[in-house]
A and B are shown apart, each in its own frame.
Chain A
Amino acid sequence: DQQVKQNSPSLSVQEGRISILNCDYTNSMFDYFLWYKKYPAEGPTFLISISSIKDKNEDGRFTVFLNKSAKHLSLHIVPSQPGDSAVYFCAASAGDTNAGKSTFGDGTTLTVKP
């Protein structure tokens, strides 16, 4: 049973437009959510996060929205740039777990076309 799902394996957008990446979760114990970006031949790097007490967190061009009732979060990138082309992983964490363990989705490959 997959607890964190990214239903779109890939997304293609034009440079300058908005990219919206989606993530759904099933475990009500998750109280912290993270997005990571991964370039080929590199490890994932942390991008942005949100606590369950908030519904929005913004960092420059990146905004994460959380809808707890729908168990859904999304990452918005505005404006999208070719350098944003990467695999994006959604991750969720429950506060009662040791060591900040996270559960990851399968990833969405974003391609931003010039």
Chain B
Amino acid sequence: DVKVTQSSRYLVKRTGEKVFLECVQDMDHENMFWYRQDPGLGLRLIYFSYDVKMKEKGDIPEGYSVSREKKERFSLILESASTNQTSMYLCASSLAGLRSQHFGDGTRLSIL
């Protein structure tokens, strides 16, 4: 069974801090995704990656960057956290050629 693990369930950071959210998948999936989920706004794609060191912007990349140095790990970086980045962050992965994604349980991030 595919396991997508997000390093923290809850995280509290201060405005202006650099924040790292980590995601690891154990099924050798090529594709990895970062979403944020906000009430009434569904899941919005921040960035995705279809191969090591490859990344593409999603619908709301502003204020974020990503890193994929190894196939199993996809990191989301908030360069200088702001209060409007308080949200639930979800990581997902999928096999190349398949459309369905496997999600982690999310990180609830609060920026104070």
Chain A residues within 8 Å of B, Cβ to Cβ? 4, 6, 9, 32, 34, 36, 41-46, 49, 89, 93, 98-107
Neighbouring A residues of B22 by C-beta, 8 Å: none
Chain B residues within 8 Å of A, Cβ to Cβ? 4, 30-31, 33, 35, 40-45, 48-50, 56, 58-59, 90, 92, 94, 96-106
Neighbouring B residues of A106 by C-beta, 8 Å: 40-42
Give chain A nearest CB distance to B46 CB in angstroms.
Answer: 12
Looking at the complex, which one of B96, B99, B102, B105 makes contact with A49 (CB distance below 8 Å)? B99
Neighbouring B residues of A36 by C-beta, 8 Å: 103
15 contacts between A and B (CB under 8 A): A36-B103, A41-B105, A42-B105, A43-B4, A43-B103, A43-B105, A46-B100, A89-B42, A101-B33, A101-B45, A102-B101, A103-B45, A103-B59, A106-B42, A107-B42
